Amino acid sequence: MQCADVRDSLGPDSSPLLLLVRLTRMDVNHLFTARSGQQFRLELTGGGIDSQVQDLEGQRQQRQSVPQRQVIGIGAGVHYTLYDPGSDRLDFFIAGTKPKQRARGFA
């Protein structure tokens, strides 16, 4: 596996393991990227990584939990993204177009 660095072009087709490495190295739950020029939201929904190590003392198994995390592509050019950390709301827009009206009422 290749190591992740700042030159990576993360996108919707990136390996989940590569995304997890990047999020873990940066120690963040939300990673915003513009390198691919695409707008996207990828969610790693949590879970765990199971590993086995064998040494002179025998074999050991370990499970490391992985919290829910996201990689968000913010787009480029006329595409832009608004993120509200208070509500975790994410909206994708294109400059010059009218945003879609959200339904009003009770949920």
pLDDT band at 106 (very low <50, low <70, confident <90, very high): low
Nearest-5° Cα angle at 5, 72 to 11? 30
DSSP 82: E
- Split into its structural domains, the chain has a count of 1
- Give me 43's structure tokens: 């969610």
Residue 29 lies in a domain: yes
Smallest CA-to-CA distance from 78 within 64, 67, 92 is with 92
Residue 104 in any domain: the answer is no
Question: Do the domain assignments include residue 72?
Answer: yes
* Under 8 Å between Cβ of 10 and 36: yes
**Residues of the chain above pLDDT 70, percent:** 85
pLDDT per position as a tens digit, 87-101: 888 898 888 887 666
pLDDT digit string, tens, across residues 37-54: 889 999 988 788 888 989
Query: Alpha-carbon distance 99 to 69, whole Å?
Result: 27
